[in-house]
Amino acid sequence: MSPHRRRGFTLIELLVVIAIIGVLIALLLPAVQSAREAARRAQCTNNLKQVALAAQNYHDANGTFPIGSPLMYDPLLGVAAESQSTFVSMLNFFEQQPLYNAFNFSRSTYVAENQTVFMTGVSTLWCPSDGKIGRLSSIGPYLNSANFRYRFTSYGGCTGVFFPEVLFYYYGPNPNDPGIISRATDVKGIYTYQISNRIADITDGTSNTMIYSERANGQFTPGDRDNWDWWADAVAADTLYTTLYPMNPFRKIAQTTDEYTNSYVESASSFHPGGANFAFADGSVRFLKDTINTWPYNPATGYPLGVTDNSGFLTLAPGTRYGVYQALSTRAGGEVISSGDY
Phi, psi of 205 (to 5 degrees): 100, 130
Q: Which of 52-56, 63-67, 225-229 has the lowest mean pLDDT?
A: 225-229
The dihedral over CA atoms of 167, 173, 174, 179, expressed in degrees to the nearest 10, equals -40
Residue 59's pLDDT is 97
> What's the pLDDT tens digit per position in 227-274?
999 999 999 999 999 999 899 988 887 765 554 568 889 999 999 999
For 241, the 3-state DSSP assignment is: strand
pLDDT higher at 311 or 290: 290
37 has pLDDT over 70: yes
Residue 142's pLDDT is 72
Average pLDDT over residues 22-49: 80
Beta bridge partners of 158: 241
277 has pLDDT over 90: yes
For strands 155-158 and 240-241, give the pairing.
Answer: parallel
202 has pLDDT over 90: yes
The single-letter code of the amino acid at 139 is I
- d(C-alpha 278, C-alpha 85), whole Å: 18
pTM of the model: 0.87
Which residue pairs from 224-227 have beta carbons closer than 8 angstroms and sit at least 24 positions apart in sequence? 225/132, 226/137, 226/139
First to last CA, the chain: 81
User: 47, 58, 228, 236: which is closest to 151 by C-alpha?
Assistant: 228
> What's the pLDDT tens digit per position in 262-271?
888 999 999 9
> How many beta carbons lie within 10 A of that of residue 274, not counting itself?
11
How far are the Cα atoms of 127, 163, 218, 286 from residue 225, in angstroms, in the given order? 15, 21, 7, 26
Average pLDDT over residues 11-36: 74
